[in-house]
């Protein structure tokens, strides 16, 4: 803690409360990284990586708030910490609502083939853009098709 004397007053310089900034940054990372993590099945089916970022961000925010309110003479952040905490709570609530409620409301595809059902003949582009028909891929033993529901 630095003391500065000027005009007969003693000013104490307070330290930056980096825990608040790190916590808020991790909350934003948890929200905006969902597009990245949704590319992988292990994190698309249940967003554990995003929830982990939110949890670590909440821990840092809580530690920063405790620092700011318990030792205000040493650390800044009562106002910004409270604002960051409320914004983080709102961001997490919006994320949870979107992922755990809205995305679960997508109706099941009634026209998709069921397990064991014969798939209709179709032609789709392969990874090089060349048209490939299902009949070209079926061997005498059949073929296994896996349908992923979601976005790419």
| Domain residue limits, the chain | 2-105
Are 76 and 16 spatial neighbours (Cβ–Cβ below 8 Å)? yes
Average pLDDT of 51-79?
93
Reported confidence tier of residue 149, pLDDT bands at 50, 70, 90: low
The predicted structure's pLDDT at residue 94: 97
The pLDDT confidence band at residue 5, using thresholds 50, 70 and 90, is very low
Provide the token pair at 42.
């292990």
**CA–CA distance, 21 with 2 (Å, rounded to integer):** 22
Backbone φ, ψ for residue 13 (5° rounding): -85, 130
> What does the pLDDT average to over 122-141?
86
pLDDT at 33: 96
| 134/151: higher pLDDT | 134
Q: Mean pLDDT throughout 67-78?
A: 89
Q: Which of 19, 126, 14 is nearest to 63 (CA)?
A: 19
Mean pLDDT of the chain: 85
The whole-angstrom separation of Cα 1 and Cα 72 is 12
The pTM score is 0.66
* 5 alpha carbon, distance to own chain's centre: 47
Task: Give CA–CA dist 123/138, Å, rounded.
Answer: 13
């Amino acid at each position: 803690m630095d003391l500065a004397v000027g005009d007969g007053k003693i000013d104490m310089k307070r330290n930056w409360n980096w825990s608040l900034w790190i916590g808020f940054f991790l909350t934003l990372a948890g929200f905006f990284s969902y597009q990245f993590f949704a590319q992988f099945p292990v994190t698309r089916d249940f967003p554990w990586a995003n929830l982990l970022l939110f949890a670590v961000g909440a821990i840092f925010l809580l530690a920063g708030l405790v620092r700011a309110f318990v030792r205000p003479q040493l650390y800044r952040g009562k106002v910004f910490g409270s604002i960051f905490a409320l914004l983080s709570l709102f961001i997490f609530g919006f994320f949870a609502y979107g992922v755990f409620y809205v995305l679960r409301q997508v109706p099941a595809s009634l026209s998709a083939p069921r397990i064991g059902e014969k798939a209709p003949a179709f032609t789709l582009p392969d990874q090089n853009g060349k048209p490939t028909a299902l009949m070209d891929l079926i061997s005498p033993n059949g073929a296994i098709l896996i349908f992923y529901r979601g976005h790419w």
